[in-house]
């Protein structure tokens, strides 16, 4: 007959091998205060190079890399690029038996594309107050062979019937994940945290800002991020992005940046009642339209991350300021 106490001790010992901590630390669940979500190696390395996050490494099934954490229970993870990878990775964290994330704040921190607007220079950082779906809807060529878009109908899945109906509030149509309003209290906290933050700048970004006729100093802005897994560039697509944001937020959101993971993040969290635990911080690495003198084809060949390093640096600066405020609030 098996001894129950022995089984518990054996399970705890095996967890030490998996998680890489002492047996004493794995006897109960670990509750991160903050988890920073990064998408791909440049974003990940901007955090992992710091020795601060060598305090604890946690192996979680479904993650690309171990979760790396500091003494203050701030952790960083790499989700992989795109909505699907983001959703799978976030769900893996939420469902891990050794983690308790009921009070964790998740912060997506990385680079994004920005709008062709004087008020949004390269290297600027957006605190996103809305996360909006780019891909869901009808993208097509109009009769004039111009790019066009129309929203889907909201669907009523009650009583097991598929019945299109007029949308009154896209943010309440949680089965289709069209748009999420970020917690106003978290957005307000983020705005308060960055009051005395100074962003970096560099000569390459300034030169490109002049070419684009943008402002010459990065700013911290608030806007909506539109999320999709395909790469696009051009004025027509920017106009569509602006329209999508206006439709899905019912005019409450203003398009600011475009990224690939945020909708997957918040959609996964929403399934577990954690949508209000999410922030999206994005540094502007490129612009919706090609630089003057460049064709779209040239951009596809050479790449469009003109200010990738600066955008990532500034996103980290803003994210760290927010984390400091969150930790102070947690301590009090």
CA distances from 182 to 189, 239, 240, 275 (A): 12, 23, 22, 8
Q: Which residues neighbour 56 within 8 Å (Cβ) at sequence distance 6 or greater? A: 20, 21, 25, 30, 68, 69, 70, 75
CB neighbour class for 183 (10 Å; exposed up to 12, middle 13-18, buried from 19): middle
Q: What is the DSSP letter of 217?
A: S
At the top level of CATH, the class of 29-331 is alpha beta
And the tokens for 230? Answer: 């395909």
Find the helix or strand (DSSP H, E) in which 107 lies.
Answer: strand 105-114
pTM of the model: 0.88
pLDDT digits (tens, 9 = 90+) for 105-150: 999 999 999 999 999 999 999 999 999 999 988 899 999 999 999 9
Give the tens place of pLDDT for each residue, 177-205.
Answer: 899 999 999 999 999 999 999 999 999 99
pLDDT per residue as tens digits for the range 286-322? 999 988 777 777 777 776 668 999 999 999 999 999 9
Phi (first) and psi of residue 246, to 5 degrees = -60, -45
SS3 213: coil
Token pair 């909201």 in the structure block, residue: 154
């Amino acid at each position: 007959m098996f001894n129950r106490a022995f089984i518990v001790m054996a399970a705890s010992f095996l967890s030490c091998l998996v998680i890489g901590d002492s047996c004493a630390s794995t006897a109960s669940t670990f509750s991160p205060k903050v988890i920073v979500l990064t998408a791909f190696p440049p974003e990940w390395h901007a955090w992992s190079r710091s020795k601060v996050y060598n305090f604890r490494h946690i192996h979680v099934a479904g993650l690309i890399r171990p979760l790396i954490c500091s003494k203050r229970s701030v952790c960083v993870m790499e989700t992989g690029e795109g909505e699907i990878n983001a959703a799978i990775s976030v769900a893996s964290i939420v469902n891990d038996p050794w983690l308790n994330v009921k009070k964790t704040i998740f912060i997506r921190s990385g680079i994004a594309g920005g709008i062709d607007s004087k008020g949004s220079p390269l290297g600027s950082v957006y605190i996103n107050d809305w996360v909006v779906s780019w891909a869901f809807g009808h993208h097509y060529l109009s009769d004039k062979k111009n790019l066009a878009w129309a929203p889907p109908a909201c669907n009523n899945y009650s009583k097991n019937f598929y019945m299109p109906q007029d949308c009154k509030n896209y943010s309440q149509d949680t089965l289709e994940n069209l748009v999420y309003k970020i917690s106003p209290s978290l957005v307000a906290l983020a705005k308060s945290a960055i009051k005395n933050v100074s962003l970096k700048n560099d000569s390459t970004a300034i030169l490109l800002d002049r070419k684009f006729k943008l402002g010459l100093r990065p700013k911290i802005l608030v806007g909506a991020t539109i999320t999709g897994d395909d790469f696009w560039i051009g004025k027509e697509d920017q106009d569509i992005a602006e329209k999508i944001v206006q439709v899905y937020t019912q005019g409450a959101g203003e398009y600011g940046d475009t990224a690939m993971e945020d909708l997957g993040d918040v959609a996964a969290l929403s399934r577990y009642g954690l949508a209000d635990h999410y922030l999206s911080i994005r540094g502007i690495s490129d612009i919706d339209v090609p630089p003057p003198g460049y064709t779209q084809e040239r951009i596809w060949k050479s790449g469009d991350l003109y200010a990738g390093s600066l955008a990532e640096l500034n996103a980290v600066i803003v994210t760290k300021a927010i984390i400091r405020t969150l930790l102070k609030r947690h301590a009090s």
